[in-house]
Amino acid sequence: MNGKPRALIIYTGGTIGMVKDSFTGSLMPVNFERLIANVPEIAKLDIELDIHTFEPTIDSSNVSPEHWIRLVEVIESNYDRYDGFVILHGSDTMAYSASAISFMVENLSKPIIFTGSQLPIGVLRTDARENFITALEIAVTKEFGRPKVSEVCIYFEYHLLKGNRTTKFSSSHFNAFTSANYPFLAEAGVQIQFNDPMLRIYNGKPTRFYKKLDSNIAILKVFPGMSQAYVKTILGISGLRAVVLETFGSGNAPTDDWFIHEIQTAINAGIIVLNVTQCLSGTVMQGKYKTSTQLGNIGVLSGEDITTEAAVTKLMFLLGNSDDAQLIKEQLAKPLREEFTLNNWE
């Protein structure tokens, strides 16, 4: 591509594109032209911009795997025409969407950056303008003629984060996302400082796009006092293929005979069970304590330090593209998109 750098903005909806209804006082979506009018600074960027708007726009709470497939289709059909992509998205499920797209696009050679805001773009104190402008700037940044970033990211409140390592942890602060187990990729101040050792290097292989997902999974969160009926009901869902087991601390769960029996029964029936910690930071260490040893013995897989968002979307991706349970288990045990760190605690 010659001349000015080019970026495609994909506007899905979310708080960033909301304005307050003068009659009801509630927030309502606006069209993209009105959104852009609130960011006149964009005209000063030396970037050619095109826009693809989801019709209708969606609140991120309504995001589904079908929307992720639509996103991948838009990116694939425009991949060779742009230097980078910026996806405007609601923050509530942004970590899920960024994780999903990271698995659905293999051998990425340019940036796909999700951003949004905690306050609507028309509000005086909004965080939307800075998030939007800086995300665009990063999306077209090159070094030695190549994109500086070649992965799926989230840009929020001065930090660029690896998309499949993020979790939304605050509903009230501008700094809404954390990447507790992976350093930030860049920090925006007077200049944008890239954390070069943490940036993924494009491997030179052809980019591949996947558009099959299987959402026959469940999250089973353990808590003190949970009943056998609760566990049995979740594990007995018709068509269930995999479970994200959210455990305490470093992968610990009750050792009650009934609990181990229910999990083992599910595994024997062919359901994949992936152990993920409820903690925002840290890793699963199955076998370190007695309360996790039995899980490993019956076939529960360790999720290491993967986030719940990445675990859910990785399972959807793997189940959607294979019926081979052993292959899926092997793929879960290794990082496909740097979504977890292999621990060596033993």
* Confidence (pLDDT) at 296: 93
pLDDT digits (tens, 9 = 90+) for 28-83: 665 666 666 667 777 778 899 999 999 888 888 999 999 999 999 999 999 999 99
pLDDT digits (tens, 9 = 90+) for 311-328: 999 999 999 999 999 999
The token pair that represents 302 in the structure block: 């360790």
Report whether pLDDT(90) > 60: yes
Please tell me whether residue 109 adopts helix, strand or coil conformation.
Answer: coil
The tokens 């189940």 sit on which residue? 319
Fold of 6-209: Rossmann fold (3.40.50)
Query: What is the distance of C-alpha 274 from the center of its chain?
Result: 18
Sign of CA dihedral 187, 192, 196, 198: positive
Q: Of 81, 116, 193, 101, which Cα lies nearest the Cα of 151?
A: 101
Please tell me whether residue 97 adopts helix, strand or coil conformation.
Answer: helix
- Region 73-94 average pLDDT: 96
Length of the chain: 346
* Confidence (pLDDT) at 235: 98
Which residues participate in catalysis according to the annotation?
15
Residues 104, 209: contact at Cβ < 8 Å? yes
Phi, psi (rounded to 5 degrees) for 170: -135, 135
What stretch(es) of the chain map to CATH 3.40.50.40?
Answer: 217-332
The token pair that represents 109 in the structure block: 């050679």
Q: Of 274, 221, 283, 272, which Cα lies nearest the Cα of 247?
A: 221
Spell out the alpha helix ranges (H) of the chain: 32-37, 65-78, 94-104, 128-139, 228-235, 257-268, 290-297, 308-321, 325-332
pTM comes to 0.93
More confident residue, 27 or 42: 42
> What is the C-alpha separation between 338 and 182, in angstroms, rounded?
10
What stretch(es) of the chain map to CATH 3.40.50.1170?
Answer: 6-209
Domain 217-332: assigned CATH number = 3.40.50.40
- Region 253-282 average pLDDT: 96
